[in-house]
Structure 1
């Protein structure tokens, strides 16, 4: 890793860039100030001349990413005389190019943003919302059929398309990458949202109560989802399940063991459903629609899948992390193979980028507070994912 020249005129930016690489590789909790200093070829105290702590470095990186997107939006909107498709395409292309160029920043926001100080989280949230509001305003001018809330939903979905570059390392030539992302976002912005929630079917009744193990898994999943893994203790989990903290250890050896059980169960549900869908489908398009239904059902039915996605990979043991990653890749590869067969104009890498964009929309919107309470969200996720995959 390159060190910083002592004469470099922008030491803060260079330090932040090196720290971003370390945060991305090891996770926020796996990096200390001395690690950043060593990568820069300076001492730990020298880092403190520029930043108060590593939290301030993370904020510098992420706020810089927001600023770049604001600049790209301002540049595109400054040329708008009237809302037309060509101008919107220019905006989408500009943001897509920025996303491809700085996909590391998107990854840090997605996985490490919760480690920011509350005031920095609020600042990024405020500026992101303002950005989305400006997008929604232009979209409503282009599509008078949309109300403010629906326009905002579509803009959040488009932002997820751009952010999807952070969840995988697949790449194609930069120009083609940006073109593909812009096209996927364009499909999202043209979606006709369902007017009513689709019936999800009755929730079956039950006999008795959950076993103690299931109670602990449910309690842990909810707490991890609300607070994050590192902010929850075994005592918190026990209290939520109605037992003393030490009693949790009779069922799970550690908090990490609970997390692994949650993640593995969510993954198994997806794989079992995928097998059922594949065997019951007449063609690739039908199979993809079945996978969309399955994914949305699992994602919105409990918080387990969201918890497994939002927790640092380094939280798992090496063996568990490797196994969960293998399962995830196998699952995604099924989507990619089906999409490649249904849309032969896409090569394998382009199909993978497209699949990740569709999955990221569902993952993001299901945990975005401004939209995840919509009555029709499950139906809307299905329509959005199908649009990204171009299923008609």
Structure 2
């Protein structure tokens, strides 16, 4: 019948919302936008969802269920026969990540806007898969201690999750490349922990200025709650002052976000320039750049999280400038990697570089790893393994 209501209207709306959330960010999409994209009125949307958060929760929970169903067969029994089952599992995970790339991006960058109950439900739904994956990895590499096993498990997940951070599409071999990088992570030899190598953690800094206190507090709050969920009053309260007093130091939230983003960009640029200036050849430069990135991220804590997630909330001109700096920084990694391995095309090299960077971005922000002794050396080893695997032609 012409004009009949589709039976799957709820799923059509969810799909439309997923695309909008991934493209524009959760806070930049309204209920009316979702309704219009799904071809209904806002009042019709409320027949299926209570609010925008309800839509996001539905999208991610149903998506995770679909991904889990596809991977369950591959991960099942991994602990009993990891030697035979590992590579098929990695390839299956890579294929799912590539095919549902928009869901991967949504999960990584917008998942924090779900209701707390939905976030808990999400963790529960993926818990059994992670348990099986950890058991299989322990069986494959029994010499690792539990912390090392978990580190490799989560680093592998970061390789797959990295496809949500870029748009490079190498073509038919995309999943195979991703699986090869993950395989390298699984097999990496982690260095012995040397706490003294992380001396920057114990340095005693001079008391910060009020401006610095505000910048630090704002950056932490932006990371934890998202730019839109944080008010000037929140930032003032975090430093023990009234919200209006913040304006003595910054014009507003956007200026705080801009200051944090520029600081991170400056730190990365300095590391890049030093690596290029002191290296003897492209391979040496790439190694120096990897070590510099690890060190910079570990010293920057909340800055890197904000720099990689909140640029869309800057004024257009500033956001455009900083995104160009981000692209230029990654382009230098890609150039060096292709110099080391001329057989890699641009898209393949970008996939490799983003996989390496994502591991370094993700692991320190995972609470269970943040205080690991020798984390810098471990992240450097993981980054090197990914770059080496990417540079090696199959």
Residues 257-295 of structure 1, C-alpha deviation per residue, up to 9 Å, x if partnerless? 101100111111100110011010011121111111111
Match of 1:192 in 2: 189
Q: 1:300 aligns with which of 298, 301, 312?
A: 298
Deviates more, 1:287-296 or 1:76-85: 76-85
SS in 1 for 2:189: coil
The reply to whether residue 177 of structure 1 matches residue 174 of structure 2 is yes
Q: 1:342 aligns with which of 328, 340, 343?
A: 340
Q: 2:278 aligns with which of 264, 277, 280?
A: 280
Match of 1:357 in 2: 355
User: Does the 8 A contact of 1:37 with 1:43 survive in 2?
Assistant: yes
User: Does the 8 A contact of 1:188 with 1:387 survive in 2?
Assistant: yes
Q: Unpaired runs of 5+ in structure 1?
A: none
The reply to whether residue 261 of structure 1 matches residue 225 of structure 2 is no
Alpha-carbon distance in 2 for matches of 1:155, 1:81: 14
Match of 1:244 in 2: 242
**CA distance 1:11–1:107, shift in 2 (3 Å):** same
List 4+ stretches of structure 1 deviating above 6 A: none
Match of 1:64 in 2: 62
Match of 1:43 in 2: 41
Alpha-carbon distance in 2 for matches of 1:363, 1:205: 25
TM-score by length of 1: 0.93
Match of 1:165 in 2: 163
TM-score by length of 2: 0.92
Q: 1:26 aligns with which of 24, 27, 34?
A: 24
Residues 279-327 of structure 1, C-alpha deviation per residue, up to 9 Å, x if partnerless? 1001112111111111111111132433324543331111111011000
The reply to whether residue 290 of structure 1 matches residue 268 of structure 2 is no
User: Does the 8 A contact of 2:311 with 2:322 survive in 1?
Assistant: no
Residues 204-237 of structure 1, C-alpha deviation per residue, up to 9 Å, x if partnerless? 555x533332222122222323333233222232
Match of 2:108 in 1: 110
Alpha-carbon distance in 2 for matches of 1:372, 1:130: 24
SS in 2 for 1:200: helix
Alpha-carbon distance in 1 for matches of 2:123, 2:283: 37
User: Does the 8 A contact of 1:58 with 1:116 survive in 2?
Assistant: yes
Deviates more, 1:104-113 or 1:80-89: 80-89
**CA distance 1:154–1:201, shift in 2 (3 Å):** same
* Pairs aligned (count): 386
User: Does the 8 A contact of 1:262 with 1:304 survive in 2?
Assistant: no
User: Does the 8 A contact of 1:76 with 1:94 survive in 2?
Assistant: yes
**RMSD of aligned residue pairs (Cα, Å):** 2.0
Alpha-carbon distance in 2 for matches of 1:244, 1:52: 35
Alpha-carbon distance in 1 for matches of 2:30, 2:180: 40
Please state how far the C-alpha of 1:37 moved relative to its aligned partner: 1.3
User: Does the 8 A contact of 1:225 with 1:303 survive in 2?
Assistant: no
Alpha-carbon distance in 1 for matches of 2:148, 2:176: 25
Match of 1:153 in 2: 151
Please state how far the C-alpha of 1:165 moved relative to its aligned partner: 0.5
**CA distance 1:313–1:263, shift in 2 (3 Å):** closer
Deviates more, 1:349-358 or 1:82-91: 82-91
Alpha-carbon distance in 2 for matches of 1:193, 1:344: 28
Match of 2:83 in 1: 85
**CA distance 1:170–1:293, shift in 2 (3 Å):** same
Match of 1:366 in 2: 364
Match of 1:389 in 2: 387
Alpha-carbon distance in 2 for matches of 1:44, 1:273: 49
Q: 1:96 aligns with which of 85, 94, 97?
A: 94
Match of 1:140 in 2: 138
User: Does the 8 A contact of 1:263 with 1:304 survive in 2?
Assistant: no
User: Does the 8 A contact of 2:27 with 2:228 survive in 1?
Assistant: no
SS in 1 for 2:142: coil
Alpha-carbon distance in 2 for matches of 1:81, 1:357: 26
Alpha-carbon distance in 2 for matches of 1:227, 1:20: 20
